Amino acid sequence: MKKTWNSLNFGVAHFLLFYMAIFLVTPKKTPLYPMIIWLGMIISSGLIVRYYSNEKSFKPITRFRKHHKKTPRAALLSAFLFFLTCISFKVSNYTSMVIPNALIFITAISIIYTIASHIKSIDNKEKIIARRVKFAIKYSWIIVSLISYYLARSLTSNSWDIPFDTTFNKLVTVVTALLFIFIFYYIIYFIFISFLSIITLQTKKVNKKSPVDINYSMSIFAPLFIIGYISYIAFNVQTLSIIKFGFEFALKYDTRDTFFCNNKYMLLNKHPDARFMFISEGNYRALIPHHDDFTVSRLTCTNSEPFYSLVSVEDKKDLVLATLANRVEVITNDLKAIMSTNNT
């Protein structure tokens, strides 16, 4: 007898894959870690009880129709690839980053294929839904790219105190824009999946003979939602690492390790690892490493030794904090002077 997969089998497979993925991406020091272990044990016990109760009671189990098995299987493949991606990032310290990046790409392709396959299964002969989705993707990409690129240029200009016009050809601007694009499309992904699930329900109401039912919908939309949510958790955990990797890569091409002043190339003796971004003749931005971050300073060539001036880039918050620190220091010195006078 040919083995068939029913909705319960798909549910068990998805649960195991996503539970192990959450188990991998959740930091062990977080208070949620023990809760995840106990919750996994409880749900696993419930699934086992339900499986054996169905076996003994001979209750009919929902099976997917032959021509509607492709999409749930594609969703299950996406979940499996996502699980492999989580494993690859967990062991990325011991392997090349090529493997995790390749798995991310393959998982994204599998998710796109799952969504396209589902749209094809619920669309009418005129392919109205498919045409609207293509239209939305085309124009959303243009709008999101333009907004992200402008925000990236503005953020780079303000953070590094450089003219807005000089940010258009900086690789760091591109990296920042890609980060904004990811955030925007991450939000769009959830909105799109929610919208598609609503369309699916409406299709069932209009066409009573439609093979799409609640079990079929859950086998597709539940994995897509959970993949997005776990990705959100992983991104929050690794945000600083991702940003650091992107900026370190960009700074290799946007900066150099020396600057030119007084007709010769120079470096900062106190900060030998500093990087310098050329802005204009005799005008640089010095990026000085500080713990896991870096500070940005304006470096300007001068005619007297040491032939350059270095001023840290500060915003209003930094100035206010510096003023408060100076006032606290003055008050502290006054109190010490008063106490020393009273003691004498």
pLDDT attached to residue 50: 61
- DSSP letter, residue 6: B
Write out the residue range of the structural domain in which residue 46 sits. Answer: 7-249
What does the longest C-alpha to C-alpha distance in the chain come to? 102
| Per-residue confidence (pLDDT) for residue 58, from 0 to 100 | 47
The pLDDT value recorded for residue 259 is: 92
245 and 260 housed in the same domain: no
In a domain, 131, yes or no: yes
- Please answer whether residues 287 and 276 qualify as being in contact, where contact means their C-beta atoms are separated by less than 8 angstroms: yes
**Looking at residue 69, what DSSP letter applies?**
S
Residues 281 and 244 grouped into a single domain:
no
Q: In the prediction, which pLDDT does 300 show?
A: 92
Q: Is 337 helix (H, G, I), strand (E, B) or coil?
A: helix
The CA R_g of the chain, rounded to the nearest whole Å, is 29
Domain final position from 232, 249, 266 = 249
Last-in-domain residue among 233, 249, 265: 249
Question: Does this model's pTM top 0.85?
Answer: no
Answer whether residue 232 is part of any domain. yes
Q: What is the pLDDT along the chain (344 residues), one digit of tens a residue?
A: 344 445 556 566 666 776 777 666 666 666 666 666 666 667 666 666 665 565 555 445 445 455 456 777 888 888 888 888 877 777 766 556 678 778 888 988 988 888 888 888 777 777 787 888 888 888 888 999 999 999 999 999 988 888 898 888 889 999 999 999 988 988 888 888 888 888 877 766 555 555 555 666 777 777 888 788 778 777 776 777 778 888 888 888 889 999 999 889 998 888 888 899 999 888 999 998 877 778 888 999 998 888 898 888 877 776 677 677 777 777 777 677 777 776 65
Q: What is the pLDDT of residue 290?
A: 79
Q: How much is the pLDDT for 101? A: 79
Same domain, yes or no: 236 and 262: no
37 and 168 assigned to the same domain: yes
In a domain? residue 343:
no
Residues 226 and 273 in one domain: no
Q: Are residues 155 and 270 in the same domain?
A: no
What pLDDT is recorded for position 252?
87
**The pLDDT of residue 124:** 72
191 is a domain residue: yes
- The structure tokens 């699930």 sit at 197
- Do 239 and 260 reside in the same domain of the chain? no
- Residue 318: per-residue pLDDT: 66
Element holding 230 (H helix, E strand): helix 214-237
β-sheet bridge partners, residue 61: none
CA distance 267 to 270: 9
pLDDT value of position 228:
81
Amino acid, single-letter form, for residue 84 = L
Same domain, 180 and 288: no
Total domains present in the chain: 2
Regarding whether 140 and 289 lie in a shared domain, the answer is: no
Domain ends where: 226, 249, 272? 249
